Amino acid sequence: MAKNYDQLAKTIIKDFGGKDNVNSVVHCATRLRFKLKDEKKADDDALKNTDGVVTVVKAGGQYQVVIGNEVADVYDAVLKEGGFSGGGEVPDDYGEDDNSSFVDKAVALISGIFTDILAPLSAGGIIKGLVVLAAAMGWLSTKSGAYQILYAIGDSIFYFLPIFLGVTAARRFHMNRFIGLAIGATLTYPTMVQLAASKTVLGTLFAGTPFASQIHTTFFGIPVITMNYTSTVLPVLFAVWFASIIEHWSKKWIPSVVQMFLVPVVTMLITLPIAFIVIGPVMTWVGDAIGAVMSGIYHFSPIIAGLLLGGLWQVLVIFGVHWGIVAVTTADLAALGYDPILGMTCMVCYAQIGVVLAIIKQTKDKKLKETATGAFFSGFLGVTEPAIYGITLPRKRPFILSCIGGAVSGAIIGAFHSVLYILPSMGFFAIPAYINPKGGSMTQIIGVIIAGVVAFIVGFALQMLFGKKSVDAEYDKKQSEKAEVNDALQATPDVATATLVSPENGKIMSLSEVKDDVFSSGSMGKGIAIEPTDGGLHAPADGKIIMTFETGHAIGMKTKTGAEILMHIGMDTVNLQGKGFDTLVEKDQEVKAGDPLVKFDIDLIKKAGYPVTTPMVVTNSKDFDEIKQIAQGNVKVGQAVLELDAPEAKDAAVSVNGQVQLN
């Protein structure tokens, strides 16, 4: 591989007819994939003879320049040299259905959208809670600069949540992330926020109905119901989903030479007016309807209302429709001086952290224990998003158990007829909001405190009794796989120093049988391929991960004996853009033979029309005297499949208790 990537990038671009001849360039695990304006200008022979280029393949409307493990570095050099944007992502089969249920899909989607922002959510929650506590205790004046700055640090991610969600939702919907960011930013644009509170009223839409809404402005004569979308969830998620449809549609008819700027223009000009005119108001009306229903139930029975609202509150928050309840509360406080509805939800957070504390005690996974501990302290201060999205919701049952605990807390508050006299804060910081400024009995306050304590106990007890199996399901599966691999390794005690074991369960085949010229020709290196029977890729030896991809379809590693290994799951699976793949390791991570590397969905990949044949090649084959396949037929993870004969590696291993130890 050429050491000077800049020079290699110049050569590649020159042999493709110059940068003006390049429409787009992307890269996968081993190849640069170019789309050219005029393919006749490409000098295939010159490219193939370039130091650092393994070979050149023309397929699927692309010129594929096979580089090898260093492809990411060469790609960066090509972008820099050509001044390319790096756009032109390989399209995936967006919208492809699978066999999971609607609930599973919804939970996976929501959890995936929030996963990347769990750390700042948790940090913001803890900081915000501590600042509010300091103010409540009189240690910090709410008018001081210190309070305002610290509160801004803690509250910013919640206030501008649509911006963060715009980015993460765009990734889940496979569209340009910066367009998603722009959608979130527009929804929280200061002018639009101020317009929602404007005293200028042009009229009322749906007057005389539960959906009556004031009109503050118009869009080319179309009435716009301006809302305050800061801290909301559902409007931006639906807007980004709609934008992803518009983006994919626009790419079909806009010429590729102008897609870079015209696709965002079309996407944003169509999406955002519809978001303000239709999507945002509809989501708000959904919340208003829920608030009206809960108010009616409360007047029928406070206990039943508490059960329902306390049990459903976290679900309403997840989908962002809880603002309808807040709207009812604001109206009640203005008209009556108190509100009985929102007050039934303020202790739900303690049911959530009761479940989280039980999970901390139950889990054997150190990473989960650390994450849950941070979420517990954040939730104790009243901010439960990290606990919900990072801990309980992905495991489903713990989340349901926390909802049951929340229902109990709401019923207790309803039974004590505890009501709010001001808009509440979070957790125990909300308790002062239940104090009647005109004086009177403290029974309502006692009821709220009891509700919080009982919610915590119920959540903890339910999780300890009924939720343990769901806590470490994935962790236990990984440990079981490791145990099976160790058994397989122990069953082959004669494994030599430079021996690679099977990374998958399945049928072994020679590289020449692979339906891809780059692998079957051996130009990438010698090795074997496996037709897997399950969706797990494992390390074939002890070593270090040297290459991973967001798409998850390939892994590169270097063994302790010096072999550079590339494992590529399926053919052209880069087109799935990560759908169906879950990479379990990171670049530079040390791994042992048999450690899980990638989890993939065979059925999904096959349904999308791609083979799952997995080549495992030694990309530095020239460094070995001989590379010999030593297994036939069906193989299991951990079974020896390749023997690498390298003089410098012959004395690099010793056997201890029947297991291979790589030095």
- The DSSP-derived string for 1-28 is --S-HHHHHHHHHHHTT-GGGEEEEEE-
Residue with more model confidence, 56 or 651: 56
Which pLDDT score, from 0 to 100, does residue 624 have? 83
Residue with more model confidence, 126 or 141: 141
Q: Tell me the pLDDT tens digit for each residue of 602-618.
A: 989 988 888 999 999 99
Cα–Cα distance, 191 to 564 (Å, whole number): 56
Percent of the chain's residues with pLDDT above 70: 81
Tell how far CA 301 is from the center of its chain. Answer: 41
Question: How does residue 464 score in pLDDT terms, banded at 50, 70 and 90?
Answer: very high
Residue with more model confidence, 494 or 221: 221
Q: Does 403 qualify as catalytic in the annotation? A: no
Please check the confidence at residue 481 and state whether its pLDDT lies above 60. Answer: no
Which pLDDT score, from 0 to 100, does residue 124 have? 74
Q: Quickly name the fold that domain 5-82 has.
A: Gyrase A; domain 2 (3.30.1360)
Cα–Cα distance, 125 to 154 (Å, whole number): 6
Residue-range domain boundaries for the chain: 5-82, 104-132+301-471, 160-283, 493-662
Whether 416 contacts 446, CB under 8 Å: yes
Structure tokens at 579: 């759908």
Question: How does residue 658 score in pLDDT terms, banded at 50, 70 and 90?
Answer: very low
Average pLDDT over residues 79-90: 66
Which pLDDT score, from 0 to 100, does residue 102 have? 61
Residue 645: C-alpha distances to residues 50, 62, 489, 521, 655 (Å):
29, 37, 20, 21, 18
What is the CATH code for 493-662?
2.70.70.10
Cα–Cα distance, 351 to 348 (Å, whole number): 5
Question: How does residue 568 score in pLDDT terms, banded at 50, 70 and 90?
Answer: very high
Structure tokens at 199: 């005293």
Average pLDDT over residues 325-341: 68
Please check the confidence at residue 647 and state whether its pLDDT lies above 60. Answer: no
Q: 410: which residues sit within 8 A by CB, 6+ positions away?
A: 305, 306, 307, 308, 309, 310, 311, 313, 344, 345, 347, 348, 451
The mean pLDDT of the chain is 81
Q: 84: which residues sit within 8 A by CB, 6+ positions away?
A: 19, 22, 24, 25, 78
Q: 642: which residues sit within 8 A by CB, 6+ positions away?
A: 499, 500, 527, 528, 540, 616, 618, 627, 628, 629, 630
| Cα–Cα nearest to 351, from 410, 305, 429, 302 | 410
Catalytic residue among 28, 346, 349, 403, which? 28
Question: How does residue 26 score in pLDDT terms, banded at 50, 70 and 90?
Answer: confident
Average pLDDT over residues 255-266: 90
Place of tokens 């789309």: 35
pTM confidence score? 0.47
Question: How does residue 148 score in pLDDT terms, banded at 50, 70 and 90?
Answer: very high
Q: How many residues belong to the chain?
A: 663
Strand ranges across the sheet with 499-501: 499-501, 640-645, 626-629
As a three-state string, the secondary structure of 283-308 is HHHHHHHHHHHHHHHHHHCHHHHHHH
| Cα–Cα nearest to 74, from 28, 114, 39 | 28
Which pLDDT score, from 0 to 100, does residue 266 have? 96
Question: How does residue 103 score in pLDDT terms, banded at 50, 70 and 90?
Answer: low
DSSP assignment string, 220-246: TTEEE-----TT-SHHHHHHHHHHHHH
Residue 644 backbone dihedrals phi, psi, to 5 degrees: -110, 120
Please check the confidence at residue 295 and state whether its pLDDT lies above 80. Answer: no
Q: Which stretches of 455-560 are assigned E, i.e. beta strand?
A: 499-501, 506-510, 526-532, 536-538, 543-548, 554-559
Whether 44 contacts 56, CB under 8 Å: yes
